[in-house]
């Protein structure tokens, strides 16, 4: 029965195709009692960097029409403290842990982080966050001020360097802030990524007209929530035409119906993000919703739904 929902991300088999997005589920302990954590397909952690990061100044978030902006700035305790303090807590859930990693100064930090995670069995996969819009990258490889995920060559170089450092499945998280997301997705596939996750937040801005200041201290911030869903679905559909590796779809998924859109567009799995803040049970409700949908439509496996969009001619 569970095989109906199970999918593979590289060598990682997950019992159901519903995960929670990096940065929206804390380190899972925040959700204890609020949702049945062990039912999740996988948990993607808050992005971890080599050194601890204090994060950006306040205000860091604001509400926007059917969405929100955030510029947290990858606040995290650093990889060593994360392994020591957070992994044991995450491990207890029994759910595969996908650790999101990013560099904050030098791209060599990506393989260094991956090596530190190699020994930890509970880590089912590694997600490369090359698309966070809220940290200033000084990476030579991507050119000053650009995201790695905005450059196919830079994306390829990072994936290759991490591929050499670990045998864990690699998920490359892509940015929607590009002209053609399929180019970046193909670069990630070609460089050895086991899956791609899309989309990260759209870069946005909101202004307090009384103060004539940006509502977020950093000015620019990442837009998430239902407001970005159609953009995300479109990008999943575009990428699905061009690559063979699994797509993990995300961007404003709030409920079963919005999750199904992503499968039909080409996702093998989906991830619930902003919805966790509003309805902590969103992801588990979606799991039962998908089961029900498959049953009532007599579909044997979620895999049959992936990319099943009927195009209008």
Cα 204 to the center of its chain, rounded Å: 18
Q: CB neighbours (10 Å) of residue 34?
A: 11
Site string for another protein, 170-209 (x = CB under 8 A): ----------------------------------------
- For residues 1 and 58, which CB has a smaller minimum distance to another protein in the complex? 58
CA dihedral 173, 174, 175, 176 (to 10 degrees): -130
Of 11-19, 66-74, 264-272, 305-313, the window that binds another protein (rule: CB under 8 A) is 66-74
Among 192, 280, 289, 307, binds another protein (CB under 8 A): 280
The piece of 32-40, 110-118, 126-134, 305-313 that touches another protein (CB under 8 A) is: 32-40
Question: How many CB atoms neighbour CB 292 within 10 A?
Answer: 11
Q: Which of 11, 66, 153, 207 binds another protein (CB under 8 A)?
A: 66
176, 225, 249, 266: residue in contact with another protein (rule CB under 8 A): 225
What is the residue-wise DSSP string for 186-212?
A: HHHHHTT-SEEEE--PEEE--EETTTT
Q: Minimal distance in Å, beta carbon 293 to another protein?
A: 20
The span from the CA of 12 to the CA of 103, in Å, is 24
Closest separation in Å from C-beta 116 to another protein: 22
What stretches of the chain show up as alpha helix (H) in DSSP? 79-81, 87-92, 109-118, 152-165, 181-190, 229-242, 256-265, 275-278, 282-296
> Which x/- pattern, by CB under 8 A, does the window 67-86 give for another protein?
xx-x-x--x-----------
Q: Which of 58, 209, 210, 311 binds another protein (CB under 8 A)?
A: 58
| 198 closest CA partner among 167, 170, 237 | 237
Locate all alpha helices (DSSP H) within 8-119, ordered by sequence: 79-81, 87-92, 109-118
Question: 44 with 19: CB under 8 angstroms?
Answer: yes
Intra-chain end-to-end CA distance of the chain, in Å: 36
Does position 106 bind another protein by CB under 8 A?
no
Q: Is 62 a catalytic residue?
A: no
Stretch that binds another protein, among 5-13, 17-25, 294-302, 304-312 (CB under 8 A): 17-25
Asked if 289 interacts with another protein (CB under 8 A), we say: no
CB-nearer residue toward another protein: 72 or 123: 72
Q: Round to whole Å and give the CA distance between 28 and 5.
A: 22
Number of residues that bind another protein (CB under 8 A): 36
User: Which residues contribute to the site for another protein (CB under 8 A)?
Assistant: 23-26, 29-34, 46, 54-55, 58-63, 65-68, 70, 72, 75, 225-226, 254, 274, 276-281
């Amino acid at each position: 029965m569970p095989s109906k929902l199970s999918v593979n991300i590289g060598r990682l088999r997950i019992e159901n195709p519903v995960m929670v997005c990096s940065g929206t589920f804390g380190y899972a302990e925040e959700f204890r009692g609020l949702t049945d954590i062990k039912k999740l397909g996988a948990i993607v952690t808050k992005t971890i960097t080599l050194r601890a990061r204090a994060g950006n100044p306040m205000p860091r978030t604001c509400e926007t029409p059917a969405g929100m902006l955030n510029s947290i700035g990858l606040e995290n305790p650093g990889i060593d403290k994360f392994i020591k303090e957070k992994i044991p807590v995450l491990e207890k859930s029994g759910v595969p842990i996908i650790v999101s990693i990013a560099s904050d100064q030098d791209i060599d930090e990506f393989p260094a982080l991956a090596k530190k995670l190699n020994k930890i069995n509970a880590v089912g996969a590694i997600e490369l966050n090359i698309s966070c819009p809220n940290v200033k990258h000084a990476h030579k490889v991507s050119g000053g001020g650009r995201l790695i995920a905005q450059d196919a060559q830079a994306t390829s170089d990072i994936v290759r360097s991490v591929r050499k450092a670990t045998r864990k499945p690699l998920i490359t998280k892509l940015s929607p802030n590009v002209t053609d997301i399929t180019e970046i997705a193909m670069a990630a596939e070609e460089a050895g990524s086991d899956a791609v996750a899309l989309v990260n937040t759209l870069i946005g801005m909101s202004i307090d007209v009384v103060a004539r200041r940006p509502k977020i201290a950093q000015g620019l911030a990442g837009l998430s929530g239902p407001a970005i869903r159609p953009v995300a679905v479109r990008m999943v559909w575009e990428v699905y035409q061009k690559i063979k590796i699994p797509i993990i779809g995300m961007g404003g998924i709030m409920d079963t119906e919005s999750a199904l859109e992503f499968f039909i567009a080409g996702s093998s799995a989906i991830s619930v993000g902003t919805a966790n803040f509003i309805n902590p049970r969103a992801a588990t409700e979606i799991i039962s919703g998908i089961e029900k949908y498959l049953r009532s439509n007599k579909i044997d496996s979620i895999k049959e739904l992936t990319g099943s969009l009927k195009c209008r001619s």
